[in-house]
Amino acid sequence: MAYVFLTPVALVMALLVFFPLVQGIAFSFTDMNQYNMGNAFSEPSYQFVGLENYRNVWADLVAADSTLRPILVQTAIWTFVNVFFHFTIGLGLALLLNRPIRGRTVYRLLLLVPWAVPSFISALAWRWMFNGSYGFFNLVLTELGLPPINWLGDPFWAMVAVIMTNVWLGVPFMMVTLLGGLQSIPRSLYEAAEIDGAGRWKQFWHITLPMLKPVATVATLLGIIWTFNMFNVIYLVTQGGPVQATEILVTFAYREAFQNWNFGMASTYGVIILSILLVLSAVYLRAMKAERVEGVMD
């Protein structure tokens, strides 16, 4: 009976996830492009090229004038900075909302607004706020007597702009997840620590963080995966500009597919993205498992 109930979900997953995944991996071994992909009037004529696309990626990566290497560096910076602020700000807000303060329900609802609004709407709204002439941030800077910032035209500030937008979008999920973890910690542990004379910092370091670690591990891993693949914010706020200053690997693969119409190479980048995320996930989970085993032995 269990398999009967699981069958509809398995079919949907096979159609929407596994089939496109296998198809994308297969395309990465071909030279598919707009000319040989086929259409209603002609048969596909793309050829199997083996590892040629992967060799081209490696050659570009090690070349002195590599176009892919800066993209990988920007992707790493984008992912690390965003997840860092997601976790630290989310944890801080979760600790505040876990305390008995007045209006706590209202604060929770307000802080969930960025998560409730569709990401493409939020990205477009933030793009207008970063407008050089009429944007909210430059108007505030002008009122304070400070020079306006070329948010979307300067490489450094463009990266700051997209990070600010994505932090605003990602903090609510981390906050809600960590808040659920905090509320699952038994109050008796803190009462025992207070009796032993432990202050708030020691309670946080020796009770809150260890008990919160399983939830934080899953939330951080999901945050890494989602941020690494966050296409909407980059494309809608800066479109990867100026001059690819905010381009990340997923938007780079999108351009290869739908601007250069090189679907074989774009599929190769997709496989590389999948491989990187699998490796990061495996390393992260292995490290957390080793730490838990060490903690049990201690």
Q: What is the count of structural domains for the chain?
A: 1
Q: How far apart are the C-alpha atoms of 160 and 170, rounded to whole Å?
A: 15
Q: What is the pLDDT of residue 295?
A: 54
- pLDDT at position 250 is 94
Looking at residue 58, its pLDDT comes to 94
In this prediction, residue 290 carries a pLDDT of: 67
**181 part of a folded domain:** yes
| b/e code 268-288 from CB counts within 10 Å (16+ = b) | bbbbbbeebeeeeeeeeeeeb
Q: Is 258 among the domain residues?
A: yes
Who's near 139: CB < 8 A, 6+ residues apart?
A: none
CA angle, corner 250, sides to 75 and 174, nearest 5?
65
Contact 40, 214 (CB under 8 A): no
- 287 occurs within a structural domain: yes
- What does the pLDDT read at residue 236? 93
List, for the chain, all residue ranges whose pLDDT scores fall below the cut of 70. Answer: 290-298
Q: Give residue 293's pLDDT.
A: 59
- Does some domain include residue 264? yes
- Structural domain including 81 reads 70-297
- pLDDT at position 241: 86
Q: Identify whether 76 is part of a domain.
A: yes
CA dist 248 and 52 (Å) reads: 23
pLDDT digits (tens, 9 = 90+) for 169-219: 999 999 999 998 998 888 888 888 888 888 888 888 888 888 888 888 888
DSSP string of 109-147?
A: HHHTHHHHS-HHHHHHHHHHHT-TTT-HHHHHHHHTTPP
pLDDT at position 136: 93
Pair 253, 240: CB distance under 8 Å: no
Q: What is the CATH number of the domain that holds 229?
A: 1.10.3720.10
The strand ranges marked E within 80-214 are: none
Which residues are CB-neighbours of 192 under 8 A, at least 6 positions away?
none
pTM of the model: 0.87
pLDDT, tens digit (0-9, with 9 covering 90-100), for 87-106? 999 999 999 888 887 877 78
Show Cβ contacts of residue 200 under 8 Å, excluding neighbours closer than 6 positions: none
* Domain-embedded: residue 139: yes
CA distance 53 to 136: 45
| Pairwise CA distance, residues 257 & 269, whole Å | 10
User: Does 16 reside within a domain?
Assistant: no
